[in-house]
Chain A
Amino acid sequence: MSARTRPRARVLVIDDQPRTAELLAREAPELEIQTVRSGGEARAHARSWREAAPVLEGRRPPDVVVLDLRFDLPDEQLLPDERALGESAAARRLRRERRDRQGLFILERLRRRRPEIAVLLTTAYEEIPFEQEALELKADAFTYAAAEEESGSGRLLVSRLRRILEERAAPQRTGRFFWGTSAAMRELRRKVSALAPTPMPLLVTGPTGTGKSLLVRDVIHPLSGRPGAFVAFDCATVPEGLLQAALFGALRGSFTGAVADRPGVFEAAADGTLFLDEIENLAPDAQKMLLTALNDGTIRRLGSAAETPHTARVVAASNAALAHAASNAALTHAASNAALGRRTAEGSFRSDLLMRLNPSLALELPPLSQRREDLPELARLTASAFWDNPRHRRAIASLVRAAGGPDPEPADAFTLAVSEREARDSASAVVFVLPGKAWAAMQRHPWPGNLRQFEMILADSLAAAVYAGPGASLDRGGRVRIPLDPRMLFDLLAGARASEPPPSGAGFSGFAGFGSGSAERPRASSVAGFRRELERSALRALFREAGGDFARMAERMTGSASAKEARAVRLRFNKLGLSARDEK
């Protein structure tokens, strides 16, 4: 995980036809198109998963995979099982489906083995029937449809590929906000770049710990170019009676204790950015006043009859899970925020205020469990931040001296190795060694507290290794090894799973089995029937708590929200005679 510069970005083309690889070689000579060996021959494209796998799993994996959707291949080269299908009508149907969707089969397998590699899925289909599945599998999608109209589609493919590489090469942190390179975050980056400089109010959504306030403070406010201050206001922490004064200011004598005129946060954020966190907790009266402030551009201090213009740009955040559908008719186009949608439907949050916050343009921060490909870089940056802390550095220096190593240099002198192989290959003077099993557990962990929780647990493990570990040792390569204790890490992960409250609006509040008495206990005339009813009840409860999102149900059940798991849950759900429409 040490930072190394690469002279050329590596691209692997997986396509049954050679033309994409030829085009890239011709139009983008700065890229290294990876060679695939098959049957003693070398070629610039892999025609199947079998040909691609050795490159993907080798020591020089690609930075980006360009993947076609349709593959005209014999059965024995088609995933998922590479077997002959026969010539029956059913076999022909299956063959056709496998060929038409082969890119998705490959993508699914690739994601399991190499989650960190960017994938550009290409298709000629105008309406990509598999777009949602591609997105769930964290791939960028490129359709030739628009490109075919006038200019050469291939050239546009090259420019799209270059953009992905540039985005991946961009700094992974802006201030303290972590971007990563997942497709969802690169899309968010493009959206933020477009929206931040505008004066329009914005809504940021995402579960707790995903970095909403950092995004507004370190990215949106600086990009806005506004000369005023960034002012953060947590709507959940101010008592209802004091909200109006806190937001809009108060005149002397307007309430007991108001001994002098006092500005509110709107005035403090003049010509700047006012960040309203946990907006869903705003009291009804304050919502009305906020709506007026947004609609008319004016505010009124408590105790004053005069309205004065304000110049703050409002960015609100909702500490809520993302949902892909809001049932309330007023929110159908918003379709972005389950908690706000629910509160609006209940009448506790004004729909006109939600609309004013441009929910259709909401900036959605995905939970960490949906961007696991970013974990290695996040771990590296967390370790860097630990390394850069002067107090920790002094402690590390004394460990290194005790082990007989040289004083560590500040710049890039350490590596966080997540396996013995990485530790052996490291060129750094100091290597923190995280055993492979512990790293695998971190990669599987659901991370309900998201980035904040990940950073905290890794930093705690590093601190334990430096301040309370067995010490450092000098290896044969002259590197100083500082081992992280896997047992402590497992304990921290177990504690995090047990103690972390579910994200508000996102969590699964009551699904903990049927022994509590609070849940309805199913009845049946046989043991098998009882088991079936039990499973039905469990799935129904989970369905309701997941807001009808099968991916979230799958994540809750298996720890994975992959399209495959979601499909399996959906199938089981239907097989038990349940209907998503009826349950909603």
Chain B
Amino acid sequence: MSQIGDFGLPARPPAPYAWAAMGVSEAAERLRHDLAKAIRFSAPEVPETETEALRERLHADVATTRRDDSGSQSAAEVFDAWRLEEGRHFAGALGRRVDDIASAIEEVRGLTVRLPSLSRPELERLDALTRRVASECRALASEARRDSRR
């Protein structure tokens, strides 16, 4: 079991999704459901002025993005699991969009590990990254849907 920072939360290794990748559009919608929705689920309308409140919210949204009885998955782990199962179906422009998400996720991953000790500017950077990931996932879903209609 790996540990996330000082929170001592067990990080479950990425569980492979049981279903096979079928449609690109549906796969993109799943990423939207599992990641884009969850990564900013607790975000308030006005950003937190209290640094610790911001840290707490980011912990909930980024470090424990999905949870069940067997443990939790961080946003990076949710993305890894999705990419393992579905990523190979995304090529061309859609593939580049997935790469963009992956690069944002890499930065998220690095910051998540150090979440308990992040400074205010770093927390704000992480918050901005969650916004970017959510936005990129939405764009991916829209483009995949457009492609599937052609």
Decide yes or no: A92 and B20 within 8 Å by CB, A17-B67, A125-B29, A127-B145 being known contacts: yes
Chain A residues contacting B94 (CB-CB under 8 Å) are none
Give Cα distance in the complex from A100 to B138, angstroms.
18
Asked whether B33 lies within 8 Å of A19 as measured between CB atoms, the reply is no
Q: Does B30 contact A (CB under 8 A)?
A: yes
Decide yes or no: A152 and B42 within 8 Å by CB, A92-B19, A95-B18 being known contacts: yes
The tally of residues in A whose CB lies under 8 Å from a CB in B reads 31
Asked whether A126 lies within 8 Å of B44 as measured between CB atoms, the reply is no
CB-nearest residue of chain B to A95:
B19
Chain A residues contacting B134 (CB-CB under 8 Å) are 148
Chain B residues contacting A89 (CB-CB under 8 Å) are 20
Decide yes or no: A151 and B32 within 8 Å by CB, A93-B22, A126-B141 being known contacts: no
Q: Does B68 contact A (CB under 8 A)?
A: yes
Within 8 A of B (CB), among A118-173: 123-127, 144-145, 148, 150-155
Asked whether B68 lies within 8 Å of A16 as measured between CB atoms, the reply is yes
19 pairs of residues in contact across A and B, judged by CB atoms under 8 Å? A16-B68, A17-B38, A18-B67, A23-B42, A74-B18, A93-B22, A95-B19, A96-B22, A100-B30, A124-B29, A124-B33, A124-B37, A126-B32, A145-B138, A148-B37, A148-B134, A152-B42, A152-B45, A153-B40
Q: Does A99 contact B (CB under 8 A)?
A: yes
Chain A residues contacting B97 (CB-CB under 8 Å) are none
Q: Does B26 contact A (CB under 8 A)?
A: yes
Asked whether B67 lies within 8 Å of A144 as measured between CB atoms, the reply is no
Decide yes or no: A144 and B44 within 8 Å by CB, A70-B30, A93-B22, A95-B18 being known contacts: no
Give Cα distance in the complex from A90 to B36, angstroms.
29
Give Cα distance in the complex from A154 to B39, angstroms.
11
Asked whether B19 lies within 8 Å of A153 as measured between CB atoms, the reply is no
Asked whether A123 lies within 8 Å of B33 as measured between CB atoms, the reply is yes
Chain B residues contacting A69 (CB-CB under 8 Å) are 33
CB-nearest residue of chain B to A98:
B19
Within 8 A of B (CB), among A247-284: none
Asked whether B67 lies within 8 Å of A124 as measured between CB atoms, the reply is no
Nearest CB of chain B from residue A51's CB, rounded to whole Å? 12
Nearest CB of chain B from residue A338's CB, rounded to whole Å? 30
Give Cα distance in the complex from A280 to B148, angstroms.
44
Asked whether B45 lies within 8 Å of A125 as measured between CB atoms, the reply is no
Chain B residues contacting A145 (CB-CB under 8 Å) are 138
Asked whether B41 lies within 8 Å of A153 as measured between CB atoms, the reply is yes
Asked whether A124 lies within 8 Å of B32 as measured between CB atoms, the reply is yes
Chain A residues contacting B34 (CB-CB under 8 Å) are 72
Asked whether A152 lies within 8 Å of B43 as measured between CB atoms, the reply is yes
Q: Does B142 contact A (CB under 8 A)?
A: yes
CB-nearest residue of chain B to A19:
B41
Give Cα distance in the complex from A70 to B37, angstroms.
12
Give Cα distance in the complex from A357 to B40, angstroms.
44
Which B residues contact A (CB, under 8 angstroms)? 17-20, 22, 26, 29-30, 32-34, 36-38, 40-45, 60, 66-68, 134, 138, 141-142, 145
Asked whether B29 lies within 8 Å of A96 as measured between CB atoms, the reply is no
Chain A residues contacting B32 (CB-CB under 8 Å) are 124-126
Asked whether B37 lies within 8 Å of A153 as measured between CB atoms, the reply is yes
* For the complex of A and B, 5 pairs with smallest distance between CB atoms: A152-B43, A96-B19, A124-B37, A151-B45, A124-B33
Asked whether A126 lies within 8 Å of B138 as measured between CB atoms, the reply is yes
Chain B residues contacting A18 (CB-CB under 8 Å) are 67
Asked whether A152 lies within 8 Å of B40 as measured between CB atoms, the reply is yes
Give Cα distance in the complex from A125 to B34, angstroms.
11
Within 8 A of B (CB), among A93-119: 93, 95-96, 99-100
Give Cα distance in the complex from A96 to B26, angstroms.
10
Asked whether A23 lies within 8 Å of B41 as measured between CB atoms, the reply is yes
Within 8 A of B (CB), among A1-46: 16-19, 23
Q: Chain A CB within 10 Å — which of B42, B60, B141, B145 has the most?
A: B42
Give Cα distance in the complex from A125 to B43, angstroms.
19
Give Cα distance in the complex from A92 to B17, angstroms.
11
Within 8 A of B (CB), among A39-59: 47
Nearest CB of chain A from residue B119's CB, rounded to whole Å? 23
Give Cα distance in the complex from A23 to B138, angstroms.
23
Asked whether A152 lies within 8 Å of B37 as measured between CB atoms, the reply is no
Asked whether A151 lies within 8 Å of B44 as measured between CB atoms, the reply is yes
Chain A residues contacting B67 (CB-CB under 8 Å) are 17-19
Nearest CB of chain A from residue B111's CB, rounded to whole Å? 19
CB-nearest residue of chain B to A125:
B29
Give Cα distance in the complex from A154 to B60, angstroms.
13
With A23-B41, A93-B22 known, 16 other A-B pairs at CB within 8 A are: A16-B68, A19-B67, A23-B42, A70-B33, A95-B18, A96-B20, A100-B26, A100-B30, A124-B29, A125-B33, A127-B145, A145-B138, A148-B40, A150-B45, A151-B45, A152-B41
Chain A residues contacting B43 (CB-CB under 8 Å) are 151-154
Nearest CB of chain A from residue B95's CB, rounded to whole Å? 21
Asked whether B45 lies within 8 Å of A148 as measured between CB atoms, the reply is no
Give Cα distance in the complex from A154 to B42, angstroms.
6
Asked whether B44 lies within 8 Å of A155 as measured between CB atoms, the reply is yes
Give Cα distance in the complex from A23 to B57, angstroms.
11
Nearest CB of chain A from residue B24's CB, rounded to whole Å? 13
Asked whether A148 lies within 8 Å of B33 as measured between CB atoms, the reply is no
Give Cα distance in the complex from A72 to B35, angstroms.
13
Asked whether A148 lies within 8 Å of B36 as measured between CB atoms, the reply is yes
CB-nearest residue of chain A to B17:
A72
CB-nearest residue of chain B to A123:
B33
Chain A residues contacting B29 (CB-CB under 8 Å) are 124-125
Give Cα distance in the complex from A322 to B142, angstroms.
33
Chain B residues contacting A124 (CB-CB under 8 Å) are 29, 32-33, 36-37
Nearest CB of chain B from residue A20's CB, rounded to whole Å? 8
Chain A residues contacting B19 (CB-CB under 8 Å) are 92, 95-96, 99
CB-nearest residue of chain A to B142:
A126
Nearest CB of chain B from residue A156's CB, rounded to whole Å? 9
Chain B residues contacting A19 (CB-CB under 8 Å) are 38, 41-42, 60, 67
Chain B residues contacting A151 (CB-CB under 8 Å) are 43-45
Give Cα distance in the complex from A561 to B142, angstroms.
33
Nearest CB of chain A from residue B77's CB, rounded to whole Å? 14
Nearest CB of chain B from residue A253's CB, rounded to whole Å? 68
CB-nearest residue of chain B to A156:
B45
Chain A residues contacting B68 (CB-CB under 8 Å) are 16-17, 47
Give Cα distance in the complex from A311 to B36, angstroms.
53
Chain A residues contacting B138 (CB-CB under 8 Å) are 126, 145, 148
Asked whether B145 lies within 8 Å of A144 as measured between CB atoms, the reply is no
